[in-house]
Amino acid sequence: MKSFLLIVLSLLCFDSAIAQKKSRKDFFGGPKDYRNLSNKGLTYSFGTTYTFADTSSLYIDTRTIYKFQPKGKFGLFAEIGTVSFNLKKPKFKWGNLVKYTDWGIGFNLYGGSENTTVYNSVAKTENQVSFGSFYLGNLTARLTFHHTWYIPKTSILIDNGLGINLDYRIFKNSSFDKTDQELEALKITTQKFSGQLFAQLHYNLGIGLKLKRGSYIIPTMQLPIFGMYEWNKGSARTNWFSSEYLPVIFKLKFIYLFEKRSQGGCENFGSEEDRKRNEEYMQNK
């Protein structure tokens, strides 16, 4: 009996010693995050592009109709930049309209193709006339203002953004199987090509997840909604051949907030009200 008690006591002591060596992470999934985070950070995105387009027609006379049938292509997108969260006291009962602002520089590649057919309304025949294909690569700079809100009792957020982007074409790969003289003989005079530089307003819609304090992942769609330059009656579409293409970006965006550098000694948070508001905001980020 004494031997049994001795063994039990030894096991309890051993288990207690092991438990003392274990970190809080082993029992509770990790210590509480006490990092002193800044309201500024790094953001980067990557993803794909796709061009949307509609079929259009050109009536030469009562019996000859040209049909321009564009198709979209998948492309590439990558971007890096910075983000700044708004720490100001809300001016509206539902909170600040702009929750955070981000900007970035990157590269996008998008393309499309166009098949042209001619339809004879008398003979009721349709034949291919021409085919063209293209890819355009652009350096892009973007500034976007975001409003976010969380789905109650979850870490899922809805991200709406409105901003401006400036793109400059640095790459073009375009081919067409008809010359200008051949198009003129066919009476096709509708070809138009967008310029090398353009500016647009865009809308962002994202559904994101807060990974931990200061870290987010947000799948996002970026849609051009208004063309400012070069002016084309406000259209945000790209003209190429005889069709118009709308390039849409589908990206995966990551946000990481910086950790504040220790200045040594006690940190100054301003007034007591400023300190409490800062602590509440940082714990909820």
Give DSSP secondary structure letters for 121-135: TTTTEEEEEEEEEEE
Residues contacting residue 28 through CB under 8 Å, at least 6 positions apart: none
Burial label, 96 (beta-carbon count in 10 A; 0-12, 13-18, 19+)? middle
Query: In this predicted model, what pLDDT tens digit does every residue of 207-264 receive, in sequence order?
Result: 999 888 889 999 999 999 999 999 999 999 999 999 999 999 999 999 999 998 766 5
Distance CA 67, CA 111 (A): 20
**Is it the case that residue 194 has pLDDT exceeding 90?**
yes
Q: Where are the domains of the chain?
A: 37-51+73-111+133-258+270-284
Return the structure tokens found at 154: 């979850």
- Evaluate if pTM is beyond 0.95: no
Ranges of beta strands (E only) in the chain are: 37-52, 56-59, 64-85, 100-120, 125-150, 156-176, 197-212, 215-229, 238-240, 243-259
Find out whether 255 and 81 touch, Cβ atoms under 8 Å. no
DSSP-assigned beta bridge partners for residue 66: 58, 118
CATH architecture, range 37-51+73-111+133-258+270-284:
Beta Barrel (2.40)
Query: In this predicted model, what pLDDT tens digit does every residue of 85-128 receive, in sequence order?
Result: 988 776 666 667 899 999 999 999 999 999 999 998 888 888 99
